[in-house]
Structures are given as C-alpha cells and as structure tokens.
Structure 1
Amino acid sequence: MDITKKALSIFEALYHLLVLMLTLGCSIQSMPVPTDVPMCTAPETAQYRLTFTGKWTQAAFPKQYPVYRPPAQWSNLIGVTHSSDYHMWQRNEFASNGVREFAEKGEAWTLMKEVETAGERIQSVYGILSAPAVVGGTGQMNTEFEVFARHSYLSFIVRIVPSPDWFVGVDSVDLCDGDHWKDSVTLELFPYDAGTDSGFTFSSPNFETIPQDRITQITSSFPSHPANSFFYPRLKHLPPIAKVTLTKVKKTNQIISLPVEPTQSNLLPSGNEIEDKLINTPLDCEASAWSPWGLCKGKCGESGVQHRTRYVIMHPANNGVACPLLEEDRKCFPDNCL
C-alpha cells in the first residue's frame, strides 16, 4: 500500500512538472522577438541613380600622390542591393576572399561568385550593379539600380588605384524610411584598409599580411607610421577622398545601358551637384636623420671643423613647414696628430 501511494505521489509530481513546463513553453513562444532593424513597408519598387565622385586631388592629398605608373585613379564600382541579413564587407570584420582579390587586384570574379551564392542560399541579394572606372583621381561614374521593400539596402566597393589593398565604399545604406523611399542620400567616403596587404604607400610592392587583419578605416593618424601615404599628423581628420549621391528617379521601362569605356577626367566636374571647394592639405617637410660626423679637418694643435648632412625625404606642399638646414658644421680638434 505504501509503495502504491509513493508511486502515485511521484506520478502526481511529474504530472504537475509537465504542466508547468508546457505553460512556460507556451508563454515563451508567444513573446515577440526583439529587433532593432526597422521594417520597410514601401508598397512599390524604387529606382535610384548612383553618382560616384572622386575627390582624390594632389592638393588635398599631396603626400606621395601617384602621378605615373599608374597615376591616381579609381577602379570600376561593384555593388549589390540586398536585405539586412547580408554584408558585402564590414568595418572591423575580416574581408572575404572576393573582397581581398578586388581590393588588391581589382579582380571581381570571386566577389561576384560570393554574391551569387548568398543570393541562392539565403535569398538576401536582389540585384548586382556596376559602374565604369574613373581614369584620374577626380571625375564621376554613374549607374542606376532598383530596390524594393524586402531588399532596400545598398552596398558597394571601389578600389583605390594604385594601393596595396585600399578601397572606399558603403556597407548597408538603407534607402527606405518606413513606408516611403528616401528622395536623396549623400555620403562622404574615406579610405579603408582590407587587412590583407601590409604595404604603407600607394606604390608598395605586394606584402601579404599574415595573419590577416580586419578591415579598418584609414585616418590621418592611423596607421601611425610616417611612411603611410595618408599620414598627416597635423590634421584632425582626413578630407573625404570621394563621395556618393543616391537620387530617386522616376521609373521608366527604358533599358539601362552602362558606358563601356572608363570615365576620363583630371578635374572635378562642374555642375550643381559639385559644390565642394578644393581642399589644400598642408604637407610638412620631412628630413632624414643626421649622418655621422665626418673627419675633423684642421692643422695639428689648432681647432678644426667637421661636417654632417641630412637629406629631404618629403618636400613641403600647400604652405607646410619648410625644410630645416641640411648641413651642419662644428669645431673639433684633429686626432692622431704627429
């Protein structure tokens, strides 16, 4: 009898535990999933015109500005329209193999395969867009693309040429604002390091970064190395090296055709869309360390003179600090006189 009562008590306890677990389970399932990603409810698709403007001038970026083999220029633009769960690239994250090849060599094949795979696997990519290269540090490239509510984000990348693995671009800019599309978006662009090549200057030879670093923004003080082509310790911030304008346009049934030849321009284009004043960044003179003191020249028993020199590493520009004296003498007494 005691055994039967004990078995019933255990059964009742298990029954109440099961009821409690089911009750808690139901209440957990009914709780809403928190999210900080706004939902786009725009009813129709939208068409945008993208205008990329290079602002890489010798006046704004005088240090080691590439003038030949090759001169300063921009690669073609590769972009995608996508949902919030996809990233072509992200700051402080590792670059994919596709981003690596594009940032280092301008080769887009692997990057395009990565985009296609993401679109097939999670259906996060809606469309791929491109625009022609800009032959020169300044100039413009244009393209048009379409977005809709589920895929309202734009990302793109443009390689800085020449450079080790530097690029500009945007990561997941949302063109939707609640139930409508934004009329216009303008963003200033700054250089990024893909973290795959350790070169400091525009024309550095290929020097693979092992282990690979994360994507970081290049600033006037980072990397903090005097050889860095973007190192301007007197500046609080680098001037923007490019900008992009996204303008909503009226949809038509016309087929968009892209120019097959790169844009050629050595001057900032004129027009209402270009209102920026030319920036003159001061570049201070950089001199080498002093050489060792030379031999003391003079007669025995009398004071002589010895000489040392240094040379200019970087000439000043745009009213930067002038170069110091490059030669120096001091009195001395000859050694080993007979």
Structure 2
Amino acid sequence: MMPSAHLSCGWLRKLLVVLVKFCLASAGPPRPLNETGCAARTPASYVLVFTGHWSPQAFPKQYPLFRPPAQWSKLIAVSHNRHFRLWEEGAPASPGVQSFAELGVTVELMRAAKEARKKRSVGAMHRTAGIPNGIGHSSTEVVVQPRSSLLSLMVKVIPSPDWFVGVDSLNLCEGSHWKQEVTVDLQPYDAGTDSGFTFSSPNFPTSPAENITQITSQMPNHPANSFYYPRLKELPPIASVRITRQRRFPDGQNAVSNHILPNSIIPQRFSATPLDCEVSLWSSWGLCLGPCSRGGVRHRTRYILLRPANAGVPCPELEEQAECVPHSCMKKRQ
C-alpha cells in the first residue's frame, strides 16, 4: 500500500504544478495578433482628419492659381498588418501607387487592398472626398481591429507630376492599449515615375522608374523644382493628419463625414516662407551706341524668372551698360 500511495501523491503534485503554470500563463497578457504587436482585446474607433496647409504664404514658389488651382485628391486609408504595404519610402512605386500619384485614380490601389484582405492582411479601406483648395480639411471615421492595427494613407498633390503626401504603417496600438490621439505633419513625396520638376510639368515618364523619395527644400537640387527653397533647412509641413480615438462606434460601417472649411477658419500654424527673386543670365552685349572715343556705350539685359515674396531678396538691376571698347566698334571704311 505504501508504494502505491507514494506514487499517487507524486502524480498529484506534478498535476498541481502543471495547473498552476497554466493559470499563471492564462492570467498574463494575450499574445499579439498577426504580427502587429497589438494585444488589445477589442477594436477601436477613430476620427481621422486630414488638413491641407498648402498656401501661397507657406509655399509661394510657382503656387498654382489656375488650370487647375492648388488642391488635394481624395484620401485613401487602409488598416493592415505587417504583411501589407500601401507605399514605402525607398521602394519602387507599385502600379497602384503610380496610377494614384500621377492621375489620382484609385482603382489599382483598391484592387491590391481587396486582394490582401482575402489573405487577412488588410482590415478595412476608407476614402474621403477631395479638397478643392490648398487649405481645407476632410474627415472620416475609421474602425481598427487588433489584428490590423497599422494605418497607411495617401493623398495626391494636385497639380503635380507624381507627388503625394501620406503615412506609412502607423501603429495605433501600443501593447494592449489603443493610442488616444496621434498627429503627423506631412511632407511631399515623389513616386519616382515621372520626371517633372514643377507643379504643371507635362507628363514625362522616368525610365527606368526610381524609388519613392521625400521631396525637401533642397532635393531635387535644381532651381526649377517647385519645392526648391535653398534658404530653408526643411520645408514647412504642407499637410497634417490628426487621428483621435472616440468612445462610441459609428452607427454604420465605413461612415464618412467630409467637411470643407474656408481658409479663414483653419488657423495658420506656420510663418510665411521668404522667396528670393530669381533672374536669368545676362544677354550678350549689344552694339556700341555712339563713337567709341567720345562716350559711346553698350547695353545688356536680363529678365525676372521668379518674383520675390514674403520679404525675400528683391530683384537686382535688369539692365547694365558699359563704356565701349575698340573691338566693339565698327571701323569706318577709308
């Protein structure tokens, strides 16, 4: 009897240890889902507000006033996990990104997101209406699941060759908690598929296509670039996005609420950007006017390429004259 009782006690002790370990493991935080790093137990509802800050005060160089004027395309937002990328800096633009960045067409982007949703890489897709001015905002309600807590979005800069602003894989979840509010200032990006330098450049495909890169105040390093401001260390944000968690869930799925505000209602967060005058190279010297030996003069001219704005460096003299030298005078025939 004694050996049997001893074996029973040892077996019960091992079973008790296993049960204790199981209970401790169950009491801990849940494992992250779908590699997003999010351990939240319930979805979260957010209001996403996109605001354009593209004004002639902040971006005076070649500011588009007509055909078409400065404006923003519809916003495309996708919630997803780490197996999906809407776009990525330093990587080639997908056909969907190229189509959207060049033409504002969303068909290819939406098709790729729908295919990824079949593989459970994408949670939800959202769109807002475009903004017909450089300054304005649009908003939408976004429901984010723990398994797809990353948010990416794109908005095309109109007019432009292939420029856009956006957010890549912003994680709205931190551990087991949803973030309450996130604000991101946005800079312009070049999709790398069109070689235009200015807002109104004609379509000129880049061959071979380049990777997606951020446009800065000095890159591309060319005076014709519409965002070239060599006096600035960095460009002021051309747009921003604010994502705020709300306690209640929207009544319907993918509820969209778009608002366009006049310029006077949206506060200007940034000071005016100074724009220096730009002039052409001097022309060739003209013929001598008057006799060389008695005060004859010659002239050359240049013209304004870009007028100054916001207390920028004023334009220099556009005409210059100099005294004639013998080789610029016509000799009289004997």
- Shorter-normalised TM range: 0.7 to 0.9
The answer to which of 175-184 and 109-118 deviates more is 109-118
Contact 1:74 1:134 in 2 (8 A): yes
**1:308 is matched with which residue: 300, 303, 311?**
300
Q: Distance in 1 between matches of 2:168 and 2:207?
A: 25
Counterpart-to-counterpart distance in 2, 1:299 and 1:282: 45
Are the counterparts in 2 of residues 153 and 172 from structure 1 also a CA contact under 8 Å? yes
Q: Percent identity?
A: 50
How far apart are residue 145 of structure 1 and its match? 1.0
**What residue is the counterpart of 2:10 in the other structure?**
none
CA 1:265 to 1:288, structure 2 compared with 1: closer, same or farther past 3 Å?
Answer: farther
Q: Distance in 2 between the 1:306 and 1:321 partners?
A: 28
Aligned to 1:320: 312
Q: CA contact under 8 A between 1:189 and 1:244: conserved in structure 2? A: yes
Matched, 1:336 2:331: yes
Q: Tell me if 1:267 matches 2:259.
A: no
Distance 2:317 2:209 in 1: 42
* SS of structure 2 residue aligned to 1:296: coil
Write the mapping of 1:103-182 to structure 2, written as runs, cut at 5 A.
103-120=101-118, 122-182=119-179
Superposition RMSD in Å: 1.5
2:238 to 238, 241, 245: 241
Give the secondary-structure state (helix, strand or coil) at the position aligned to 2:164. strand
- Alpha-carbon displacement from aligned partner over 1:171-227 (angstroms, at most 9, x marks no partner): 000000101100000000000000000000000010100000000000000000000
The answer for the alignment partner of 1:9 in structure 2 is none
C-alpha distance in structure 2 between counterparts of 1:75 and 1:253, whole Å: 25
Compute the displacement of 1:265 (Å).
4.4
Tell me the number of residue pairs that the alignment of Structure 1 and Structure 2 aligns.
295
The 8 Å contact of residues 136 and 265 in structure 1, kept in 2 or not, is answered as no
Equivalent-residue separation in structure 1 for 2:276 and 2:250 (angstroms): 55
CA contact (8 A) 2:141 2:250 kept: no
TM-score (norm 1): 0.84
Give the gaps of 5 or more residues in structure 2.
1-34
What's the offset of the Cα at 1:299? Answer: 2.3
- Preserved CA contact (<8 Å) 2:141 2:255: no
Deviation at 1:143, TM superposition (A): 0.2
Deviation of 1:266 (Å): 4.6
Q: Report the alpha carbon displacement of residue 75 of structure 1 after superposing the two structures with TM.
A: 0.3
Tell me by how many angstroms 1:258 deviates.
2.7
Match of 2:9 in 1: none
2:219 equivalent in structure 1: 222
The one-letter amino acid of 1:60's match is A
Task: Deviation per CA, 1:83-121: give whole Å up to 9, x if none.
Answer: 12210000000000011000000001111111112222x
Gaps of 5+ in 1: 1-36
Q: CA deviation at 1:264?
A: 4.4
Secondary structure, aligned partner of 2:140: strand
Shift of the alpha carbon at 1:336? Answer: 2.1
Distance 2:217 2:276 in 1: 14
The alignment status of 1:43 with 2:41, answered yes or no, reads yes
Q: TM-score, normalised by structure 2?
A: 0.85
Matches within 5 A, 1:184-223: 184-223=181-220
C-alpha distance in 2 between matches for 1:277 and 1:82: 31
The one-letter code of the counterpart of 2:205 is E
